[in-house]
Amino acid sequence: MSPSGPWVPKVLIAVLTLGIFYQLLWYSQTSLSTTTCTENTGSAWFQGVVGTHSEHGEDANTTDTVPPSLDNDKTHISYGPTQCMPAFSDRLKHLAITQNETCAKHAPFQTQETRRVALASINTGDPEEAYQRALQSQMLHSAIHETSTHILCEDLADGAWNKIAFLLNLLMTEMLKPASSRLEWIMWIDRDVIVLDTCRPLSSFLPPPTAAFDKINLITNHDALGLNAGVFMFRVNEWSIQLFNTILAFRYFRPDQDLVLAEQTAMEIIIQEDQWKDAVARVPWYWFNAYPKLEDDSLDTYREGSEPDDLEWFRARKGDFAVHFAGVGGRSERMLEWTEMLDHVDNVWEKGDALRDVTGEIQTYWESYESGGLTDAQISGEP
């Protein structure tokens, strides 16, 4: 015991010295990042994101050229105290402006949104670069179309049920606004979905705004296993509140039912039932939920537009709205490879190398729907 006595002051001094040294290091790092924040505060599109990422270095030259009309915090909205909204760099802000122009000029469809629409997603847990990049592609779409992206950063319910709880929260908030200003439709979009065609407005998937389609409240699609709830659109109304309430309460009221894929299975079961099914329109898988080609050359063939003739009909190709990495092995790496590749792909409508344009098909779909003549092929998209 006694030998330890003389050591104590030396250890204390050593700890103190180390402490001062590291504090200095820490201090200089903080002041560095604070500077970065201050520089960007003026042009931040949304509160809270400032300082959480440091993408700003690459594009400091553009800060003062962002038009004031785009300088708002209403476009990208995160929910909860945790900051999970990916940064929206000046490079992306500029991309939003230039793509807005090239889309309007070259896309063979109307690029302006015709309804009040928004995107919703969740980004809980430790940030993952692949998801950040995918969410940024969604945020870019919102910025181009002057809509909004809503991202939940907290857990409101366990596992994938969190999504349903969040959509209820969004719906109820919107329903408390006057009907003339609330959102009309929301697209739920998983964070493993990359938006490929930022030109296509979300409104373009919706039925015409006429009475014949008033009863449609939900637009879904199936993959090979049935309903895929990775991307779908729903109307902001009481029906949707009822639906999501019912899904959220499913386990309580039907505890014996096996839910293989949690909330997705519950949703699939419920929307097939008589009370709900007439308000649901199932549309082709690839309209807004195409899956990536899995072969090793998928990046090259997408970039070059050299997809093989036998590329399966539901696989993403140029012109498609989005690519969803549902259940793809090594998803994080694949998604990062795709986002990096996409950084070097020009607007497909400007280059004129789109391999699919669903515009005509969407129109025919709703015409057939109205006349009661929808075929199975129109619904599934399978040729």
Ligand X SMILES: *[C@@H]1O[C@H](CO)[C@@H](O)[C@H](O)[C@H]1NC(C)=O
**Residue 8 CB, nearest approach to ligand X (Å):** 55
Which residue from 89, 100, 121, 198 is in contact with ligand X, where contact means CB under 6 A?
Answer: 100
Q: Token pair of 338, please?
A: 């795709």
Query: Which residue of 12, 104, 179, 294 would you call a contact of ligand X, by CB under 6 A?
Result: 104
Binding flag, residue 97, ligand X (CB under 6 A): yes
Based on the shown chain and the rule CB under 6 A, indicate whether residue 96 belongs to the binding site for ligand X: yes
In whole angstroms, the minimum distance from the beta carbon of 99 to ligand X comes to: 9
Give the count of residues interacting with ligand X (CB under 6 A): 14
Nearest distance from C-beta of residue 163 to ligand X, angstroms: 28
Q: Which stretch binds ligand X (CB under 6 A): 56-64, 121-129, 185-193, 198-206?
A: 56-64
Encoded one letter per residue, x for contact with ligand X by CB under 6 A and - for no contact, window 350-379 reads: ------------------------------
User: Would you say the C-alpha torsion 140, 173, 167, 330 has a positive or negative sign?
Assistant: positive
3-class SS letters over the chain? CCCHHHHHHHHHHHHHHHHHHHHHHHHHHHHHHHHHHHHHHCCCCCCCCCCCCCHHHHHHHHHHHCCHHHCCCCCEEEECCCCCCCCCCHHHHHHHHHHHHHHHHHCCCCCCCCCCEEEEEECCCCCCHHHHHHHHHHHHHHHHHCCEEEEECCCCCCCCHHHHHHHHHHHHHHHCCCCCCCCCEEEEECCCEEECCCCCCHHHHCCCCCHHHCCCCEEECEECCEECCCEEEEECCHHHHHHHHHHHCHHHHCCCCCCCCHHHHHHHHHHCCHHHHCCEEECCCHHHHEECCCCCCHHHHHHHCCCCCCCCCCECCCCCCEEECCCCCCHHHHHHHHHHHHCCCCCHHHHCCCCCCCHHHHHHHHHHHHHCCCCHHHHHCCC
Cβ atoms of 324 and 231 within 8 Å: the answer is yes
Q: In angstroms, what is the minimal distance from the CB of 353 to ligand X?
A: 23
Q: How far is the CB of 195 from ligand X (least distance, A)?
A: 15
One character per residue 64-83, x = contact with ligand X (rule: CB under 6 A): -----xx-------------
- Binding ligand X by CB under 6 A: which of 59, 337, 350, 361? 59
If the CB atoms of residues 6 and 57 are measured against ligand X, the closer one turns out to be 57
Examine residue 62 and tell whether it contacts ligand X (CB under 6 A).
yes
Region from 54-62, 149-157, 191-199, 263-271 binding ligand X, contact rule CB under 6 A: 54-62
Which one, 15 or 60, has the nearer CB to ligand X? 60
Piece of the chain touching ligand X by CB under 6 A; list 61-69, 152-160, 276-284, 375-383: 61-69
Q: Which stretch binds ligand X (CB under 6 A): 71-79, 89-97, 202-210, 280-288?
A: 89-97
> Among residues 113 and 357, whose Cβ is nearest to ligand X?
113
Cβ at position 109, least distance to ligand X in Å: 15
Nearest Cα residue to 100 out of 188, 198, 13: 198
Kindly identify the residues of this chain, within the stretch 128-157, that bind ligand X according to CB under 6 A. Answer: 143-144, 146
- Interface residues with ligand X (CB under 6 A)? 58-59, 61-62, 69-70, 94, 96-97, 100, 104, 143-144, 146
